[in-house]
Structure 1
Amino acid sequence: MAALNSTEQVAVIGAGAMGVGIAQIAAQAGHPVKLYDARPGAAAQAIEGIDRQLGRLVEKGKLAADARNATVARMQAVDAIEELADSRLVIEAIVENLEVKRGLLRQLEELCAVDCILASNTSSLSITSLAAGLKQPRRVVGMHFFNPAPLMALVEIVSGLDTDPAIANGLHALAGAWGKKPVHTRSTPGFIVNRVARPFYAESLRLLQEGAADCASLDALMRDAGGFRMGAFELTDLIGHDVNYAVTCSVFDAYYGDFRFQPSLIQKELVDAGRLGRKSGRGFYDYAEGTERPQPAELASATSIDSCVVEGDLGVASGLLQRLQDNGVSVSRRDGAGLLRVGDAVLALSDGRLASQRAREDGLRNLLLIDLALDYAKATRIGISWSADTTEGARDQAVALLQRAGLKVTALADIPGLAVLRTVAMLANEGADAVLQGVGTAADIDLAMCAGVNYPLGPLAWADRIGVGQVLRVLDNLQRDYGEERYRPSLLLRRLDAEGRNFHD
């Protein structure tokens, strides 16, 4: 089916934040919209709220008054669900409860015409389960918006076992017509975003638990080196630990206890203590008025560095060399295994091994490992670790070189994969398994993570940039060091590496 004509009526059930946002989007796209909520007066109050919100945009010059008036005029609050019977599309955004939603869908199936599409904004419930028992489960589909719906670009179009592909394709086109970025996904736990995003939180939580660095330092590395808008600790403080922990537990349980999704005891303790983040005034950080935000730890050196030697190809970290040259450092080149030498220090991009382990296995003294950066030419901070035999002088020389490139240097304990690299490798690994299992295409998964949670680069595109083989080596080394299934590489990574292909070939 094609996208709905903008003259066709859309109904939204639920006048909470998500329902109201969806109703606003549909009305702004030109549809007549009916809004229903079981609470008396809630729908009318919600439309009044939209009117006020759009009014503020008019006052700021961000919206024409005529557009505001037309949008509000297209919206109608109704007091009885029976008034939705003439709708072409009904989107429910009610409480996240399987039985309650099932009951509503059964009611709508009896009430609405046979060609009416029944969509759920569920973020976690199975579309297959929601449609089970209906006479026409083919017309039930997920249409998962992200909060706040008018601002967030992504919409996950979720197909259950019986969903008609033509209906899913039609809603995909409709979401695009509404100015959104839609992706197709199968009805599996977490869909795309809530599944693939789990390692972003999990790896920082594990690094904190292992004493790799403090919250402020780990968050700074994810922002200033990784290019993420927030680190995991400030982001979970914003989301709310009760919400984030519950989603992690839900995905973990849905995958029968797969340790890749294992919840964190540190986060559970915060939830148990009522430290839910910003909304409670305290989470990983203290949000009380007047409290100073902790600053990331940084290493500093007063040593003067004028030259360095590059042995072989630094791969994805090669952008660092131009920075050094631009800042007056003479860079000499010779054959080798991808190392950067300055004085007594040897620097290398992490490959997932412990620094001391790599120093012993590769016969390198004074070895320091460099973490991944989104763009080594533009990053403002870099994480490093070093082997046990690294002298203070060699460490100082390495720090001085990185400072000369204009980088702030944050130390991590000698842990496998450092911070940004292991997080990105695990995100790519989860994305790879989602592709392997038919949850979504590589393009849709990358789009979902960029549009849905503002990642600076899709995890599979990032894997292509690093090199699929390198990501696989990092994961193999992480699994070897930890001895856990948590870090097992996806079969798709092995297949692509064996075939010499990338995700987006």
Structure 2
Amino acid sequence: KDQVGLKLGPFELFDLTALDVSHPVMESIYNQYYQEPRYRPSVITAQRLAGGVVGKKVGEGFYTYVDGKAAVASEPPVPEVQEFPPVWVSPRASRRLELLQLLKDLGATIETGASPSPQALTLVAPLGFDVTTVAVVERLDPARTVGIDMLFDDAATKRRVLATNPATRSDMRDAAHALFAKDGKAVSVIRDSGGFVTQRVVANIVNIAADMCQQRVCTPQDLDIAVTLGLGYPVGPLALGDKLGPTNVLEVLFNLQTVYGDPRYRPSPWLRRRGAIGLSLLQTED
């Protein structure tokens, strides 16, 4: 929610609605669409429902609740780094110019060579791919490679998300964490994940919204209005897809399919066609 600007994160929303309500709804939709992979419920919600850990109303869900308030873990401390390594940014990084400017503002020493020096912290900013895949494809040393999610404009977010890969050295991880926290913005460091966290969640939301329009469940305008009023989103899913760029959302989905081989990330024809010819996702056909 800190990257997108939502009032509630997905797990807060699950806890609020309660899994004894939301999981049967997800199962019903999945079965009504003859097991369409895009609507497949998570085994995690099924397990938690079976264990009675359904949400806020019972005091225990994805969060623990005391007097109706979620007990949220404090932010992990920022590592202390005495000397920062130079930073090399992949030429294929998304929002590369913005990332380079951010690094300058944070006081980083930036390498400009065609490849990183043996001392450099190597930064990648993929869309959909995991850090491991990028390191292999670009022939980077995985031990010094860290990913950063740049799908959203950094200035518009309250949190930066970094990802390591299984080989990332702890000193490189800590250096990246400390560097991106120098201006006081919150930083989360996650394990390797295709699409980080936000990319995967947002791309799925946009894709399902596009598919609903493809099926003529509702008009694009009605869908966005329903989501903004019903869920409190700052903008509707289709407007969000336009803001991020339909081609960027498509890249996330295509690359997630490559990483995971999961058909749930199959792009909707509505999204694919409008992205291919440069139309708004709100554009209807005459």
What is the DSSP-based 3-state SS (H/G/I as helix, E as strand, rest coil) of the residue aligned with 2:162? strand
The answer on whether the counterparts of 2:94 and 2:151 sit within 8 Å (CA) in structure 1 is no
Letter in 1 for 2:132: S
Report what 2:17 is aligned to.
239
Q: Could you tell me how far 1:453 is from its partner in structure 2?
A: 0.6
* RMSD of aligned residue pairs (Cα, Å): 3.3
Q: Could you tell me how far 1:318 is from its partner in structure 2?
A: 5.6
Q: Could you tell me how far 1:398 is from its partner in structure 2?
A: 1.6
Q: Could you tell me how far 1:500 is from its partner in structure 2?
A: 3.2
Q: Compared with structure 1, are the counterparts of its residues 450 and 314 closer, same or farther at alpha carbon in structure 2 (3 Å cutoff)?
A: farther
CA distance in 2, matches of 1:432, 1:316: 25
Q: Compared with structure 1, are the counterparts of its residues 330 and 397 closer, same or farther at alpha carbon in structure 2 (3 Å cutoff)?
A: closer
Report what 1:271 is aligned to.
49
Residue 124 of structure 2: which of 348, 352, 365 is its match? Answer: 348
Write the mapping of 1:312-331 to structure 2, written as runs, cut at 5 A: 315-316=94-95, 324-327=103-106, 329=107
Q: Could you tell me how far 1:447 is from its partner in structure 2?
A: 2.6
Report what 1:415 is aligned to.
193
Query: In the alignment, does 2:224 pair up with 1:463?
Result: no
Structure 1: give runs of 5+ residues left out of the alignment.
Answer: 1-222
Write the mapping of 1:426-465 to structure 2, written as runs, cut at 5 A: 426-465=204-243
What is the DSSP-based 3-state SS (H/G/I as helix, E as strand, rest coil) of the residue aligned with 2:6? coil
Report what 2:157 is aligned to.
379
Q: Compared with structure 1, are the counterparts of its residues 334 and 470 closer, same or farther at alpha carbon in structure 2 (3 Å cutoff)?
A: farther
Q: Compared with structure 1, are the counterparts of its residues 349 and 446 closer, same or farther at alpha carbon in structure 2 (3 Å cutoff)?
A: farther
CA distance in 1, matches of 2:212, 2:225: 14
Report what 1:401 is aligned to.
179
CA distance in 2, matches of 1:373, 1:477: 14
The answer on whether the counterparts of 1:468 and 1:497 sit within 8 Å (CA) in structure 2 is yes
Q: Compared with structure 1, are the counterparts of its residues 296 and 320 closer, same or farther at alpha carbon in structure 2 (3 Å cutoff)?
A: farther
What is the DSSP-based 3-state SS (H/G/I as helix, E as strand, rest coil) of the residue aligned with 1:390? coil
Q: Could you tell me how far 1:316 is from its partner in structure 2?
A: 4.8
Q: Compared with structure 1, are the counterparts of its residues 358 and 444 closer, same or farther at alpha carbon in structure 2 (3 Å cutoff)?
A: same
Q: Compared with structure 1, are the counterparts of its residues 485 and 313 closer, same or farther at alpha carbon in structure 2 (3 Å cutoff)?
A: closer
CA distance in 2, matches of 1:455, 1:367: 34
Report what 1:357 is aligned to.
133
What is the DSSP-based 3-state SS (H/G/I as helix, E as strand, rest coil) of the residue aligned with 1:455? coil
* 1:217-262 deviation line (CA, Å, top 9, x unaligned): xxxxxx2223221112222111111111122122112211112112
Structure 2: give runs of 5+ residues left out of the alignment.
Answer: none
Q: Compared with structure 1, are the counterparts of its residues 395 and 404 closer, same or farther at alpha carbon in structure 2 (3 Å cutoff)?
A: same
* 1:372-399 deviation line (CA, Å, top 9, x unaligned): 5654114232222123333223222222
Letter in 1 for 2:135: A
Q: Compared with structure 1, are the counterparts of its residues 501 and 356 closer, same or farther at alpha carbon in structure 2 (3 Å cutoff)?
A: same
Residue 496 of structure 1: which of 271, 274, 277 is its match? Answer: 274
Report what 1:3 is aligned to.
none
CA distance in 2, matches of 1:476, 1:502: 19
CA distance in 1, matches of 2:121, 2:236: 34
What is the DSSP-based 3-state SS (H/G/I as helix, E as strand, rest coil) of the residue aligned with 2:155? coil
What TM-score, normalized by structure 2, do the two folds share? Answer: 0.82
The answer on whether the counterparts of 2:88 and 2:122 sit within 8 Å (CA) in structure 1 is no
Structure number with greater Rg is 1
CA distance in 2, matches of 1:367, 1:425: 25
Letter in 2 for 1:482: Y
Q: Compared with structure 1, are the counterparts of its residues 436 and 311 closer, same or farther at alpha carbon in structure 2 (3 Å cutoff)?
A: same
Write the mapping of 1:26-425 to structure 2, written as runs, cut at 5 A: 223-289=1-67, 293-295=71-73, 298=76, 300-303=78-81, 304-305=83-84, 315-316=94-95, 324-327=103-106, 329=107, 344-365=120-141, 366-372=144-150, 374-425=152-203
Higher strand content, 1 or 2? 1
Q: Could you tell me how far 1:423 is from its partner in structure 2?
A: 0.5
Letter in 1 for 2:129: R
The answer on whether the counterparts of 1:379 and 1:407 sit within 8 Å (CA) in structure 2 is no
What is the DSSP-based 3-state SS (H/G/I as helix, E as strand, rest coil) of the residue aligned with 1:224? coil
Q: Compared with structure 1, are the counterparts of its residues 296 and 381 closer, same or farther at alpha carbon in structure 2 (3 Å cutoff)?
A: farther
* 1:440-469 deviation line (CA, Å, top 9, x unaligned): 333332332222211233222222233222
Q: Could you tell me how far 1:307 is from its partner in structure 2?
A: 7.2
The answer on whether the counterparts of 1:475 and 1:487 sit within 8 Å (CA) in structure 2 is yes
* 1:361-381 deviation line (CA, Å, top 9, x unaligned): 121222211225654114232
CA distance in 2, matches of 1:470, 1:436: 19
Q: Could you tell me how far 1:277 is from its partner in structure 2?
A: 1.4
CA distance in 2, matches of 1:421, 1:301: 26
CA distance in 1, matches of 2:124, 2:238: 23
Letter in 1 for 2:27: C
The answer on whether the counterparts of 1:228 and 1:456 sit within 8 Å (CA) in structure 2 is yes
What is the DSSP-based 3-state SS (H/G/I as helix, E as strand, rest coil) of the residue aligned with 2:208? helix
Letter in 1 for 2:79: S
CA distance in 2, matches of 1:463, 1:290: 34
Letter in 2 for 1:427: I
What TM-score, normalized by structure 1, do the two folds share? Answer: 0.49
The answer on whether the counterparts of 2:89 and 2:124 sit within 8 Å (CA) in structure 1 is no
CA distance in 1, matches of 2:46, 2:262: 21
Letter in 2 for 1:497: G
User: Could you say which structure has the greater relative contact order, defined with CA pairs below 8 angstroms and 6 or more residues apart?
Assistant: 2
Q: For this pair of structures, how many residues does the alignment match? A: 280
Report what 1:139 is aligned to.
none
Q: Compared with structure 1, are the counterparts of its residues 258 and 292 closer, same or farther at alpha carbon in structure 2 (3 Å cutoff)?
A: closer
Letter in 1 for 2:242: D
